[in-house]
């Protein structure tokens, strides 16, 4: 999907627009988008991938450094098996069709979440896309797949507990920084802004630790309808926020 030059021109005339260094997105509403049009839910997921491809281009164009998208929750296993299978195959097709484009655009891909329960071929695919983009220095695209925030924190706690049990770590050494270093997102900045589409106003177990001081913007559009105009409106809303991080004076990100 091409970038709208009119919106880009308008954006260029607004130098005070704040760009998040790390953007998180809960891509919600694919099924509702499809049902509203009398289509199958799977068609909504196909359109959702197109919207993701467009968002990656927008983040590159507007200078976002890190983009984390919630593609499959650990709670999504309760969905019908045929829909889960379709989502997994859609990930395979996305990687196969977009890998070379991501490499050309200097995008580094990281996929966070549990590998347990995934087919070995899917795990190999995940490892392959991470390895082939590891040297890229542009946008970091983090895909939260088979991911849950509570499970992530619990796994980090287990890692540290094993270190204590082995005598390599004292309980007093377990700081916020050390726990953060045991998360899937170790080494990544916390998100500045998290968007959720489809009108829902909850975070659904997404980046629970990392979102402690993130700004949230909830939009009415279902995910397949989230376009550049939506993106710019979110940036405008983010730019109006005073980020104090518990202090008194606003801190510019």
CA-to-CA distance for 71 and 143, rounded, in angstroms? 7
Question: Which structure tokens are listed for 232?
Answer: 């710019």
Angle between helix 228-239 and 5-12 (nearest 10): 20
CA-to-CA distance for 88 and 172, rounded, in angstroms? 42
CB neighbours of residue 63 within 10 Å: 10
Query: What's 191's DSSP letter?
Result: P
Q: Which residue is catalytic, options 4, 8, 76, 105?
A: 76
Beta-bridge mates of residue 195: 25, 217
Q: Are strands 108-112 and 66-73 parallel, antiparallel or unpaired?
A: unpaired
CA-to-CA distance for 100 and 52, rounded, in angstroms? 16
CA-to-CA distance for 65 and 20, rounded, in angstroms? 8
CA-to-CA distance for 212 and 139, rounded, in angstroms? 23
Q: Is 227 one of the annotated active-site residues of the chain?
A: no
Q: Is 28 one of the annotated active-site residues of the chain?
A: yes
Catalytic residue list = 28, 76
């Amino acid at each position: 999907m091409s970038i709208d030059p009119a919106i880009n021109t308008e954006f260029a005339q607004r130098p005070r627009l704040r760009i998040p260094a790390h953007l998180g997105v809960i891509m919600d509403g694919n099924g509702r988008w499809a049902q509203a049009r009398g289509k199958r839910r799977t068609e909504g997921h196909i359109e959702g991938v197109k919207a993701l491809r467009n968002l990656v281009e927008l983040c590159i164009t507007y200078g976002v450094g890190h983009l984390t998208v919630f593609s499959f929750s650990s709670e999504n296993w309760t969905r019908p098996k045929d829909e889960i299978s379709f989502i997994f195959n859609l990930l395979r097709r996305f990687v196969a069709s977009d890998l070379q484009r991501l490499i050309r655009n200097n995008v580094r891909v990281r996929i966070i979440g549990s590998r347990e329960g995934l087919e070995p071929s899917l795990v190999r695919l995940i490892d392959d896309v991470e390895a082939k983009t590891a040297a890229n220095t542009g946008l970091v695209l983090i895909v939260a797949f088979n991911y849950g925030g509570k499970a992530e924190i619990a796994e980090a706690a287990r890692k540290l507990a094993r270190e204590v049990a082995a005598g390599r770590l004292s309980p007093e050494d377990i700081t916020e920084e050390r726990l953060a270093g045991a998360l899937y997102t170790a080494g990544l900045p916390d998100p500045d802004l998290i968007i959720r589409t489809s009108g829902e106003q909850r975070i659904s177990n997404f980046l629970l630790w990392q979102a402690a001081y993130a700004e949230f913007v909830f939009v009415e559009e279902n995910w397949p309808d989230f376009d550049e105009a939506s993106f710019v409106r979110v940036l405008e809303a983010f730019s109006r926020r005073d980020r104090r991080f518990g202090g008194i004076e606003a801190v510019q990100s």
